[in-house]
């Protein structure tokens, strides 16, 4: 098996919450103990509602944010503490495409300067060579080289996003992170940009991470999907498995909440109800229990542990087998030692009545 191009272990990021008069800032854990791997050449999608921590996770993986806890590995090398020249080199190889193509481009710089800046910073090309390279990159993203002297306000949203992509490609990256790369664009140009990203991925042999909430984009572009809820991963699976047989109640509700293209088709799974709880004081046990139609006492008390199923699929839910009873049988790899230990602790606590099933703790 090949080495992951990017991997994180037990990654967390905590921010200070909004200031309140005479009160301490509450701490908000945006990303909570996440472990995942990105394999070379794949497109990994990170999906979840606004506030689920997906963008923060993407920026942590690229070292645009410093983690509060955990380790990040790039091609097997620990990069969590990388700084100086090494961090600069990582910036070349791990590039990002931002959501808002207007806000991410300097309005005082023309396209030649915007796209040429990474070449100026990270290469020893002469001014003439940089000019030729910029023309080349513009051609690659489908813009005429003659537009290099124009400014960002002279372009449409789709064209500005193409400029952002050309800039990201300028330093010769190995991995591209698209942070909601098409959600700010008109529907009519979204497909063009998605197709452009796919063809660039093939042309340059890139690995991609796509952070998005648009399920259609994810289905079209990704190989694997990571589903996040309130800073934690609830399910990881191949894209077809996520859409055809979602196992986690949150994934099921997320997919059921997507707009129906066929009028009159009945939804078998209830749509997602309510809002995301306050991340500064997340619910106990399973964080999804306040919105889950299958929540039990165990869910309210005990945090589910990621279980690894056959084929590398992962799910964090106490009751996924009961909930998906009528689905075809899915092989379950032996539960991990940590899972068995926590389960035993929980059962012993219930037996000894130090925790009642209604959640009261007795002396
Ligand atoms: Fe729902 Fe319980 Fe599974 Fe959480 S652990 S998703 S509350 S069934």
Provide the pLDDT for residue 246.
Answer: 92
Backbone φ and ψ for 29, nearest 5 degrees, come out as: -90, 100
Whether 166 is covered by a domain: the verdict is yes
The reply to whether 149 and 195 lie within a common domain is yes
- Give the domain CATH number at 91: 3.40.50.300
Distance 213 CA to ligand 1 centre (A): 22
Enclosing domain of residue 185: 6-222
Among candidate residues 222, 252, 273, the one where a domain is terminated: 222
The reply to whether 234 and 212 lie within a common domain is no
Nearest protein CA to atom 3 of ligand 1, as residue: 317
Provide the pLDDT for residue 29.
Answer: 92
Q: Who contacts 229 (Cβ-Cβ below 8 Å, separation ≥6)?
A: 48, 49, 52, 250, 287, 288
Encode pLDDT of 227-268 as tens digits: 999 999 999 999 999 998 899 999 999 888 776 666 665 656
- Among 99-113, 190-204, 267-281, where is mean pLDDT lowest? 267-281
* Beta strand spans in 39-187 (E): 43-47, 69-74, 77-78, 94-97, 175-179
Distance 228 CA to ligand 1 centre (A): 14
- The ligand 1 site (C-beta within 6 Å) comprises 249, 286, 288-289, 292, 294-295, 299, 304, 317-319
Encode pLDDT of 103-153 as tens digits: 888 999 999 999 999 998 888 889 899 999 999 999 999 999 999 999 999
- Taking the CA of residue 323 as reference, the ligand 1 atom at the shortest distance is 8
Distance 276 CA to ligand 1 centre (A): 15
Provide the pLDDT confidence category of residue 274 given band limits of 50, 70 and 90.
confident
Both ends of the chain: CA-CA distance in Å? Answer: 50
Whether 357 is covered by a domain: the verdict is no
Nearest protein CA to atom 5 of ligand 1, as residue: 317
Provide the pLDDT confidence category of residue 62 given band limits of 50, 70 and 90.
very high
The percent of residues above 90 in pLDDT, for the chain, comes to 58
Distance 119 CA to ligand 1 centre (A): 49
The reply to whether 101 and 235 lie within a common domain is no
Whether 17 is covered by a domain: the verdict is yes
| pTM (2 d.p.) | 0.85
Whether 358 is covered by a domain: the verdict is no
Provide the pLDDT confidence category of residue 184 given band limits of 50, 70 and 90.
confident
The reply to whether 93 and 208 lie within a common domain is yes
Among candidate residues 222, 254, 282, the one where a domain is terminated: 222
Whether 240 is covered by a domain: the verdict is yes
The reply to whether 134 and 246 lie within a common domain is no
């Amino acid at each position: 098996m090949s080495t992951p191009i990017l991997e994180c272990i037990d990654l967390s990021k905590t921010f200070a919450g909004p200031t309140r008069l005479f009160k301490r800032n509450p701490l908000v854990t945006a990303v909570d103990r996440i472990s995942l791997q990105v394999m070379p050449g794949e497109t990994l999608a990170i999906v979840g509602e606004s506030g689920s921590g997906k963008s923060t996770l993407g920026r942590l993986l690229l070292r645009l944010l410093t983690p509060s806890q955990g380790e990040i590995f790039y091609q097997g090398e620990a990069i969590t503490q990388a700084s100086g020249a090494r961090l600069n080199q990582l910036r070349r190889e791990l590039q990002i495409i931002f959501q808002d193509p207007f806000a991410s481009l300097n309005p005082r710089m023309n396209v030649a300067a915007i796209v040429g800046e990474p070449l100026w910073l990270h290469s020893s090309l002469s001014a003439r060579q940089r000019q030729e390279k910029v023309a080349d990159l513009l051609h690659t993203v489908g813009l005429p080289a003659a537009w290099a002297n124009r400014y960002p306000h002279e372009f449409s949203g789709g064209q500005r996003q193409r400029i952002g992509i050309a800039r990201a490609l300028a330093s010769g990256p190995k991995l591209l992170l698209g942070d909601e790369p098409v959600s700010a664009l008109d529907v009519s140009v979204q497909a063009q940009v998605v197709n452009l990203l796919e063809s660039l991925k093939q042309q340059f042999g890139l690995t991609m991470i796509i952070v998005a909430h648009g399920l259609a984009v994810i289905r079209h572009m990704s190989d694997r999907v990571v589903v996040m809820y309130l800073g934690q991963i609830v399910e990881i699976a191949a894209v077809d498995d996520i859409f055809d047989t979602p196992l986690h109640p949150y994934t099921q509700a997320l997919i059921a909440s997507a707009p129906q293209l066929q009028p009159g088709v009945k939804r078998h799974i209830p749509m997602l109800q309510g809002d995301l709880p306050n991340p500064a004081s997340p619910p106990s046990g399973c964080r999804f229990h306040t919105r889950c139609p299958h929540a039990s006492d165990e869910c309210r008390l005990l945090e589910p542990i990621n279980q690894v199923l056959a084929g590398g699929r992962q799910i964090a839910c106490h009751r996924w087998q009961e909930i998906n009873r009528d689905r075809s049988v899915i092989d379950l790899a032996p539960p991990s030692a940590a899972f068995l230990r926590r389960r035993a602790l929980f059962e012993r606590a219930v037996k000894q009545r130090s925790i009642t099933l209604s959640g009261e703790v007795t002396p």
